[in-house]
Amino acid sequence: MDKLLIEGGRPLAGELRVSGAKNAALPILCAALLSPEPLTLTNVPRLNDVRTMQTLLAQMGVRLDAGTRGTVALDARSIDWPLAPYELVKTMRASILALGPLLARCGEARVSLPGGCAIGLRPVDQHVKGLQAMGAEIDLEHGYINARATRLKGTRFGFDLVTVTGTENLLMAATLADGTTVLENAAREPEVVDLARCLTAMGARIDGAGTDRITIDGVAALHGATHAIMPDRIETGTFLAAVAATGGDALLTGTQAGTLDAVLDKLREAGATVDEAPASIRIRRRGALAAIHIRTAPYPAFPTDMQAQMMALATRAHGTTVITETIFENRMMHVQELVRLGAVIDVEGNAAIVKGVAKLTGATVMATDLRASACLVIAGLMAEGETTIDRIYHLDRGYEEIEEKLSALGARIRRIQ
């Protein structure tokens, strides 16, 4: 298993280009299932989760052709096997995103229940309830969701809670439904908006994406299109936090500052200077890090996917930071690893109380999930001496060429077998 070796204590400086967004690419790859005509995507990040989704689609009969520079052409003219098997779903929960499109296009789908997940229970009841409201017959048997519908029907559906992939699944399903669907309490995440943009380019009729009420007028068929995946706001935020944490100065390009307001506000509060342009962000930090308070919540509030990275930064701030996680019940596993590096953190319920210390010192730590891994990379960059991060396969699921990118900013980081 690969490990990362980091020699910390050096400020990051320079320029780097952000990749396409994992959490936009995954639903948009599934959107290809909705049309018999080709969908061409650009700015697709080269990540293990994207490869898993491509394997899943290929098993269903979708033809994929990966070109240069993140271009992927998908041809779903025939879908032979509307199935997402346990072997793939258990490695990537986002496989559930195939459910809505398969059902809408093929009239049937069989998708494994995802089961447990490192960061919490993460049920899919809202996906199922929404599709049932659209007329699908669904039963759960042998660990699988078996869904059938001659043609889904437009309906009004209010989510009990805000769910990103739940919104995306129903949004995709509704594009081919008979009549109008109104989704209330919908997720407003920029990735939902990017999916809606792609579906609209394919001929879908969608209004209100980016608000909590999305209206979809079903059409008989969707056609081919070309779509550029939006920049990854969480990758952007991760590098911004790393630069601020190490007291560096860097310019991130190919990003969308407007999707990161809550993160940029907290970085400024922590003492960084952030200059925004529409497609680039410069960050630098010279003075001391200040303690901040963070509470994760659905967009546009502070994203849960940036909580761990900001905790790394807070370990060396002056004063006490309180970070409250409200989305996932078990997303504090990085705390014990940060403590191994010298951080002082108490967890009370869903809050971490971080007392800033003068220094972190390198140690061997273990990555437990994707964003926890990114947190440990940042902490390793801040720590004196050498940090070894084990189980970095989590990192490869969601960060494209992270060592190369950090090395370009002057980090001493390398992968060992």
User: CB neighbours of 47 closer than 8 A, spacing ≥ 6?
Assistant: 22, 25, 396, 397, 398, 399, 400
Q: Of the residues 30, 106, 117, 375, which is catalytic?
A: 117
Q: Which residue shows structure tokens 């049937």?
A: 108
Q: Which stretch binds ligand EPU (CB under 6 A): 83-91, 140-148, 157-165, 335-343?
A: 157-165
* Among residues 6, 34, 164, 172, the one that binds ligand EPU under rule CB under 6 A: 164
Q: Of 36-44, 61-69, 125-133, 142-150, which part binds ligand EPU (CB under 6 A)?
A: 125-133
CA 405, 406, 411, 415 torsion: positive or negative?
negative
Pairing of strands 180-184, 3-7: unpaired
Beta strands in 224-330 (DSSP E): 225-228, 249-253, 273-277, 280-284, 293-295, 320-324
CB of 234 to ligand EPU, least distance (A): 6
CB nearer ligand EPU, residue 128 or residue 354: 128
Binding string, residues 1-40; x marks residues near ligand EPU by CB under 6 A: ----------------------x--x--------------
- Is residue 269 a contact point for ligand EPU (CB under 6 A)? no
328 binds ligand EPU (CB under 6 A): yes
DSSP secondary structure, 76-138, as one string: -S--S--EE-HHHHTT-GGGGGGHHHHHHHHSEEEEE----BTTB----HHHHHHHHHTT-EE
Beta bridge partners of 349: none
Q: How far is the CB of 166 from ligand EPU (least distance, A)?
A: 5
Write each residue from 398 to 417 as x if it is in contact with ligand EPU (CB under 6 A), else as -, in one continuous string: x-------------------
Distances 37 to 82, 112, 209 between C-alpha atoms, Å: 17, 27, 24
Q: Residue 325's beta-bridge partner residues?
A: none
Residues 52-81: x/- map of binding to ligand EPU (CB under 6 A)?
Answer: ------------------------------
Structure tokens at 331: 């997303």
- Is the C-alpha dihedral spanning 194, 195, 198, 204 positive or negative? negative
Q: Which amino acid makes up residue 54?
A: Q
- Figure out which of the listed residues 18, 31, 60, 94 binds ligand EPU, where binding follows CB under 6 A: 94
Enter the DSSP assignment of 289: P
Q: Which residues of 150-169 are buried (b: 16+ CB within 10 A; e: fewer)?
A: eebbbbebebeebbbbbbbb
Least separation in angstroms between residue 88's CB and ligand EPU is: 14
Name the β-bridge partners of 66: 72
Binding-residue pattern over the window 353 to 382 for ligand EPU, x denoting contact by CB under 6 A: -----------------xx-----------
Q: Is 237 in the site for ligand EPU (CB under 6 A)?
A: no
One of 121, 140, 221, 288 touching ligand EPU (CB under 6 A): 121
Q: Quick check: is 198 catalytic?
A: no
State the minimum distance, in angstroms, from the CB of residue 222 to ligand EPU.
21
Among 60, 173, 327, 365, binds ligand EPU (CB under 6 A): 327
- Give catalytic residue positions: 117
Residues found near ligand EPU in the complex (CB under 6 A) = 23, 26, 93-94, 120-127, 161, 163-166, 304-305, 327-328, 370-371, 398
